[in-house]
């Protein structure tokens, strides 16, 4: 019978992650605030003026990881990191980008469209639970683009994925942060490269 392929060096990382997760469960939920840097994508800028609305659900987005018994384990706050990501990506894509709070503000800014991203789902896979030597994060988004009158332009789904090996990080919190940042960078790439290829967006651009 084939034996699992695991090096002796990998054992301390897996044991340490499992032990820390056990300690976290015993002491109550720990908190992870996602921090990272997001490079500007190298794409052709479109001659558009776009307003961005970050709704409270995005600004304050947090995900709670529960134990198998239903106990709160880890609270992951990623809302502000998503805003930093879009603030880095959007100005590279469009000639003019303004952040607004309401549709009325967007009208006053005389923009071509209003963009409002939404996080629909966040999933986390921990090494202590999957028995794999990686932290994994999946995020599902709903991207919404409307006119200043609120009329539909496009509404599409994007998913992003990030993973980091346990050997890279000494703590569960750092591993989660690393995997989430990779997922956010994956989003930045897929969003900036696929935006004009979304059928509804492509049709809208042709009619401008």
Domain boundaries, the chain: 30-206
Over residues 143-189, the pLDDT tens digits come to 999 999 999 999 999 999 999 999 999 899 999 999 999 999 999 99
CATH of domain 30-206: 3.40.50.10610
Separation CA 172–CA 25 (nearest Å): 12
pTM of the model: 0.85
List pLDDT tens digits, range 45-69.
999 999 999 999 999 999 999 988 8
- Phi, psi torsion values for 122, nearest 5 degrees: -135, 130
Q: Which residue has the higher pLDDT, 117 or 12?
A: 117
- Alpha-carbon torsion 165, 170, 172, 174, what sign? negative
How many angstroms separate the CA atoms of 65 and 133, rounded? 18
Please state, for a pLDDT cut of 90, what percent of the chain lies above it. Answer: 83
The DSSP letter of residue 198 is S
Helix H or strand E segment including 11: helix 10-27
Whole-number Å distance between alpha carbons of 208 and 203: 9
């Amino acid at each position: 019978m084939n034996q699992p392929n695991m090096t002796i060096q990998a054992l301390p990382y897996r044991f340490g992650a499992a032990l820390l997760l056990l300690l976290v469960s015993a002491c109550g939920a720990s908190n992870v605030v996602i921090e990272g840097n997001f490079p500007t994508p190298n794409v052709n800028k479109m001659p558009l003026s776009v307003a961005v609305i970050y709704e409270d659900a995005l600004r304050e987005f947090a995900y709670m990881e529960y134990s198998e018994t239903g106990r709160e384990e880890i609270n992951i706050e990623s809302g502000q990191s998503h805003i930093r990501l879009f603030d880095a990506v959007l100005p590279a894509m469009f000639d003019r980008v303004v952040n607004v709070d309401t549709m009325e503000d967007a009208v006053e800014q005389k923009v071509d469209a209003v963009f409002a991203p939404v996080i629909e789902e966040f999933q986390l896979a921990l090494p202590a639970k999957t028995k794999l030597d990686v932290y994994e994060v999946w995020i599902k988004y709903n991207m919404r683009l409307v006119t200043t009158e609120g009329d539909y332009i496009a509404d599409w789904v994007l998913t992003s994925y990030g993973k980091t090996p346990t050997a890279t990080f000494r703590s569960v919190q750092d591993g989660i942060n690393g995997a989430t940042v990779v997922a956010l960078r994956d989003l930045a790439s897929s969003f900036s490269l696929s935006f004009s290829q979304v059928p509804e967006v492509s049709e809208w651009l042709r009619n401008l």
